[in-house]
Structure 1
Amino acid sequence: MSTQTTTVPQQTATARTVTEQTGARTAEAAALIGDARERIDALDDRIIGLIQERMAVSAVIQEARISSGGRRVNLAREMEVLGHYRDALGKPGTALAMTMLELCRGRV
């Protein structure tokens, strides 16, 4: 049984890696995509930080509401938030707001 060894030129291997990582067919497009992905990662970090901040503020509100004899969740307020996200982002905004509200309800 003979084993054939084929050598792939470095340029082809690099091009394949660029395509696999970014889906781009050219180095220019791959560079653009790489830069844009770095920006998206930075934006995602900021969004996560803002949601964590929102969770903390929501916990303060919930604690005040509960300690005054109210309920942990104000459904009317949640409906306002859902409407705001829907108006700004369309139907997917509602799903995003639901997830965010779920995260912010927490446990006081």
Structure 2
Amino acid sequence: MSTTYIVVTAVAAFMVAFSALSVFIKAPWVTQPLTEYGVPRSWWTWLGLAKAAGAVGLVAGLWIPAIGLAAGIGVALYFTGALITVIRARSYAHVAWPMVYAAPAVAALFLA
């Protein structure tokens, strides 16, 4: 296991955890776009839990590679869905954000 992999995985886990926390505390920079995209409020907690599980899985993957692999794939798929949601809502100014959060997780997958 390389130092690069550990650092990239830690950054990915931190970013995904921050994203989950932002949903849990209902930060306006998250809730306002979710409302604009048409994401039902009843989904927000589940989306936050999915991101939190992804962050925990990325960290656990440092010791159990299969869990890290599954978490990395899950996080990549989650943010792919977020990207599709943003595009379908025609909120093109926000297209970069799902990719920013997905990039470290995808990089960790490739480094694994």
User: Structures share a fold, TM > 0.5?
Assistant: no
- The structure, 1 or 2, with the larger RCO (C-alpha pairs under 8 Å, 6+ apart) is 2
- TM-score normalised by L of structure 1: 0.32
- TM-score normalised by L of structure 2: 0.32
Larger-gyration structure (1/2): 1
Higher share in helix: 2
